[in-house]
Amino acid sequence: LAKTTQPISMDSYEGQEVNITCSHNNIATNDYITWYQQFPSQGPRFIIQGYKTKVTNEVASLFIPADRKSSTLSLPRVSLSDTAVYYCLVGPPLDTGRRALTFGSGTRLQVQP
Amino acid sequence: EAGVVQSPRYKIIEKKQPVAFWCNPISGHNTLYWYRQNLGQGPELLIRYENEEAVDDSQLPKDRFSAERLKGVDSTLKIQPAELGDSAVYLCASSLVGGTAKNTEAFFGQGTRLTVV
């Protein structure tokens, strides 16, 4: 199982763009990169998933270089409500392989006014 | 559509007492997971069900933990007897595995915060 490394914490201000980078040097060919968000007293929530290049949805963008050994979650113009823990997960899709999510310790993002 | 529902939200018990958590997954989801989350850490898988079958319980401490998913819908996780180190948030999640749509995510409940004193 590919190990992920991400910063323990990050600070930002409202309106800024936040980029959280995750390293996954041992990513396997059939692994996808998935990001989850967790607010205090809630369960994690899916944000975005990608395999290569760039993926964008209404919440975030995910940038994956050609070697796929790292990925960057980009949150445009953050607000106070984006304060949360962000988890980078690497593994096969839930309908293949291990079929379960493996979480690390995540990145605690604090957005200041 | 209702999400994953867990109860109770909070539970405080004395050590050596039993405790049970209940989970109602999203309707139609065939896969159900129980995770445990310690303070400041990410969730750790305890057990995964596909329909009513426990297909991965390698991380479940079987001496005191048990789980069941009757009829492949609701699930119960039990601890007996509880220890101080069991204090954590217990999260239930569900997903739809298989079918024609590519599965992308699991949906989590709000969790049950257990405090053992």
Give the model confidence (pLDDT) of A28-83 as tens digits.
998 899 999 999 999 999 999 999 999 999 999 999 999 999 999 999 999 999 99
pLDDT at A93 over 90: no
**Closest to B93 (Cα-Cα) out of B27, B44, B26, B42:** B26
Average pLDDT of chain A, as a whole number: 92
Taking an 8 Å cut-off on Cβ atoms, the answer to whether B31 and A93 are in contact is no
Q: Which domains, ranges and CATH numbers included, belong to chain B?
A: 5-116 (2.60.40.10)
Domain covering A9-93, topology? Immunoglobulin-like (2.60.40)
Does residue B40 sit at the A interface (CB-CB below 8 Å)? yes
**Closest to B111 (Cα-Cα) out of A106, A110, A45:** A45
Taking an 8 Å cut-off on Cβ atoms, the answer to whether A105 and B111 are in contact is no
* Under 8 Å between Cβ of B11 and B113: yes
User: Binning pLDDT at 50, 70 and 90, where does residue B97 land?
Assistant: confident
**Closest to A12 (Cα-Cα) out of A110, A108, A82, A106:** A110
> What does the alpha-carbon distance between residue B113 and residue A31 come to, in Å, rounded to a whole number?
32
pLDDT at B25 over 80: yes
User: Binning pLDDT at 50, 70 and 90, where does residue A92 land?
Assistant: confident
Taking an 8 Å cut-off on Cβ atoms, the answer to whether A87 and B103 are in contact is no
> What does the alpha-carbon distance between residue A62 and residue A54 come to, in Å, rounded to a whole number?
6
pLDDT given at position B104: 62
